[in-house]
Amino acid sequence: MRKLLIFGLLACLLAISGQAYAHSPLMSCFDNGDGTVTCEGGFSDGSSASGVGMSVKAPDGKTLMEGKMSQDSEYSFKKPEGGYTVVFDAGEGHTVVINGADIVE
């Protein structure tokens, strides 16, 4: 009985600790209508995205621009000519990619 109680307690602790660290990256981008794009990011647990790496890539994968989310979890850039994607990269499993064609005013 004691072993069952200890096993149950450990199982609960593992389940709770896994949820405490689980958070998903979030990002949305919009065309400012003045030739620039602004992206806002964060995490599903409310964490800031300040300092998260950002990049704008051409269709061939070439990096056009790189930067980081500001203290306000925003990243603005000049809209490139032609197709592009915006990449929010907070590490493995925490990446969001938005196609430039989906970014509208």
In a domain, 8, yes or no: no
Structural domain of residue 29, as residue ranges? 23-102
| Whether the Cβ atoms of residue 91 and residue 53 lie closer than 8 Å to each other | no
Q: How many domains does one find in the chain?
A: 1
Find residue 58's DSSP bridge partners: none
The answer to whether 14 and 61 are in contact (CB under 8 A) is no
In a domain, 54, yes or no: yes
Instruction: Indicate whether 10 belongs to any domain.
Output: no
Residue 75 structure tokens: 């990243």
The pLDDT value given to residue 6 = 42
pLDDT-above-90 percentage for the chain: 73
Which band of pLDDT confidence, cut at 50, 70 and 90, is reported for residue 23? confident
Instruction: Classify residue 2: in a domain, yes or no.
Output: no
| Position with higher pLDDT, 96 vs 6 | 96
27 inside domain: yes
pTM: 0.77
> Band of the pLDDT at 29, cuts 50, 70, 90?
very high
The CATH number of the domain where 31 resides is what? 2.60.40.1930
